[in-house]
Structure 1
Amino acid sequence: MKGIILAAGKGSRLYPMTRPTCKPLLPVYDKPMIYYPLAVLMQAGIRDILIIIPPGEEGPFYRLLGNGARWGVNISYEVQEVARGIADALLIGERFIGKDPVCLVLGDNIFHSLTLESTLARAVRTSHQGGATVFGYYVHNPRAFGVVEFDEDGRAISIEEKPRLPKSNYIIPGLYFYDNSVIEIAKGIKPSARGELEISDVNLEYLRRNQLHVIKLDRDFVWLDAGTADNLLTAGMGVKEVQDDTGRYVACLEEIALNRGYIDVDDVHRMGNELSQTLYGQYLLCL
């Protein structure tokens, strides 16, 4: 399975913070925002990763992540010249995806749970069998998101993008698993009234084909959209709280790579020595 991170948004909701740098390079507590979706892909066992970035940001991203070799993964980059919606990432990544299934994650979304890896593994298995797998996350105010409606048996029966009157409190966060037919589906959708290729239209097509699987996330599952100043602050405080309470670091790429067998302890300690002046580096040296 291939992985794509869409990290090309203008970040206009975060101005003036994002005037000199793009949103996914901003810090969320002690790590750049891009670490969090990258960690999700690595926890799903995905090692071939495409990051879609804004024009002119190739240098900063490469200085931060390089080609991914330090974590035992393969990272490549493509530029999205014009923001055309989330589904456009699938068209930009067509050659990268090839004949494989793909996981698409948004660059400003943060996921955390003690059961995250098992939930991701379930989604990977389902996508290899065919169709699409997305997640249902309960929120109190769903009107700003894609809302999924369920029947009495818990099966998804409708999806609405930013509805005025939501039919449920379950939204679909920015993490999607698709089989290879997603490329053909993405090519067939038309721009919405706001001129974007909506990911909800991709999911709706899978729903029409009776191939959309929706996994409801448990209430202890943490999902954060760090796209506004308030959300960015809340996300940073949430990450700090989890790390303080558990003693385990959220989105620690080195630890994930070590647990997956992509790198060894000597690699981790070498990177820890590079960051020995920080708590993050000291955490690596204790692994």
Structure 2
Amino acid sequence: MKGIVLAAGKGTSLYPMTKPVCKPLLPVYDKPLIYYPIAILMQAGISEILVIVPPNETATFTALLGDGSQYGLKISYAEQPVPRGIVDALLIGQEFVGDDRVCLVLGDNIFYAPTLGATLKKAAASPAAATVFGYYVEDPRPFGVVEFDKNGKAISIEEKPRYPKSNYIVPGLYFYDQQVMEIARALKPSARGELEITDVNLEYLSRGQLQVIPLEKNFTWLDAGTADSLLAAAQTIKEIQDTTGRYVGCLEELGFYEGWISEEQVHAIGDELEMTLYGKYLKCL
């Protein structure tokens, strides 16, 4: 399975912070925001990743992540010339994905749970053609809302409904089989001029091939799209790390536990960063 991170948003809702730097490179506590979605793919067992970035920003992301080999990854880059919606990431990544399955994650989404790795690996190995997640929120109106029947089966998904049929929304993490490219190519732009990911999910639903997994209450999902949510995300990450003693989104640690890099490689990076708490954490692994 291949992984795609859509990190091409300039983050206009975060101006003036994002005037000189795009949103996925902003800090969330002690790491750049882009670390967290990459960590999601790594916990799903995915090591080949395409990062989609804004125009003329490839060098900036490369300066941070390189080719990913220091984490045991193979990272490549593609630019999104014009924002055309989430589905555009799939079209940009067609050649990269080839005949493989794909996991798409949004560049401003953060997930955490003690059982997250097991949940993601199960989704990646599922025979379902498409797998997405349902996350309970108090106000689902700004999101894609999923409705379940009495047996817990998804029966509808509605984008930004005025009157939501449930409190479960579909966060920005999607597992698809090879059909997704054919579905994406056939989509027409919505009224707001974008290729909507909800339309992809609805097509799978109409084919009887969409699996929606409700996430348990111990799961944390953060969407760092506004100044308030960016601050809340940083505070949440700090609280989790202080409470558990484990770092969230630590790519070197994840690469080590997946068996992609050695303990010596992790400690060498820790030596380079020994003036920081992050470096000290790596040296203690």
- TM-based fold match above 0.5: yes
Q: Which residue is 1:35 aligned to?
A: 35
**Counterpart AA for 2:16:** P
Q: State how 1:133-152 maps to structure 2 within 5 Å.
A: 133-152=131-150
How far does residue 71 in structure 1 lie from its aligned partner after superposition? 0.7
SS in structure 1 at match of 2:241: helix
Residue in structure 1 matched with residue 249 of structure 2 by the alignment: 251
Give me the TM-score of the superposition, normalised by structure 1: 0.99
Determine the C-alpha separation between the residues in 2 that align with 1:272 and 1:198.
Answer: 41
Aligned counterpart for 2:218 among listed residues 220, 241, 259: 220
Q: Which residue of 2 aligns with 1:63?
A: 63
Pairs within 5 Å for 1:46-125: 46-125=46-125
Give the alignment of 1:190-205 within 5 angstroms: 190-205=188-203
2:160 equivalent in structure 1? 162
Equivalent residues of 2:103, 2:174 under 8 A apart: yes
Once the two structures are superposed, what CA deviation does each residue of 1:190-234 show, in whole Å capped at 9, x if it has no partner?
Answer: 100000000000000000000000000001100000010000000
**What is the distance in 2 between the residues matched to 1:254 and 1:285?**
11
Partners of 2:191 and 2:183 in 1: how far apart?
Answer: 19
TM-score, normalised by the number of residues in structure 2:
0.99
Letter in 2 for 1:152: K
Q: Is the 8 A contact 2:128 2:211 kept in 1?
A: no
The Cα of 1:124 is off from its aligned counterpart by: 0.6
Post-superposition CA distance 1:231-250 (Å, at most 9, x none): 00000000000000010000
Partner Cα distance (2:58, 2:5) in 1: 14
Distance 1:284 1:54 in 2: 31
Superposition misfits of 4+ residues, deviation over 3 angstroms: none
Alignment of 1:1-40 (within 5 A): 1-40=1-40
Contact 2:128 2:210 in 1 (8 A): no
Measure how far apart 1:59 and its partner are: 1.3
SS of 2:257's equivalent? helix
Counterparts of 1:105 and 1:232, CA distance in 2: 18
Unaligned 5+ segments in structure 1 are none
Q: Distance in 2 between matches of 1:188 and 1:131?
A: 18
Tell me if the contact between 2:34 and 2:107 (Cα under 8 Å) persists in the aligned partners: yes
Kindly state the Cα deviation for residue 10 of structure 1 after the two structures are TM-superposed.
1.9
TM superposition shift of 1:171: 0.1
Match of 2:180, as an amino acid? V
Deviates further, 115-124 or 170-179 = 115-124
Counterpart CA distance in 2 for 1:77 and 1:198 is 22
Cα contact 2:5–2:105 (8 A) shared by 1: yes
**How far 1:130 moved relative to its partner?**
4.2
Residue 56 of structure 1, CA deviation: 1.4
Query: How many Å separate the matches in 2 of 1:122 and 1:50?
Result: 22
How far residue 9 of structure 1 moved from its aligned partner, in angstroms, is 1.0
Larger CA deviation: 117-126 vs 201-210: 117-126
User: How far apart, in 2, do the equivalents of 1:183 and 1:286 lie?
Assistant: 43
**CA–CA separation in structure 1 for the residues paired with 2:229 and 2:103:** 24
Matches of 1:209 and 1:69, distance apart in 2: 39
Looking at structure 1, the residues matched to 158 and 214 of structure 2 have their Cα atoms a distance apart, in angstroms, of 17
Query: What's the RMSD between the two structures over aligned residues?
Result: 0.5
Partners of 1:233 and 1:60 in 2: CA distance? 23
Q: Gapped runs of 5+ residues in structure 2? A: none
Q: Following the alignment from structure 2 to structure 1, what is the Cα–Cα distance between the partners of residues 76 and 142?
A: 31
CA distance in 2, matches of 1:27, 1:35: 10
1:177 to 175, 178, 181: 175
- Counterpart of 1:231 in 2: which secondary structure? helix
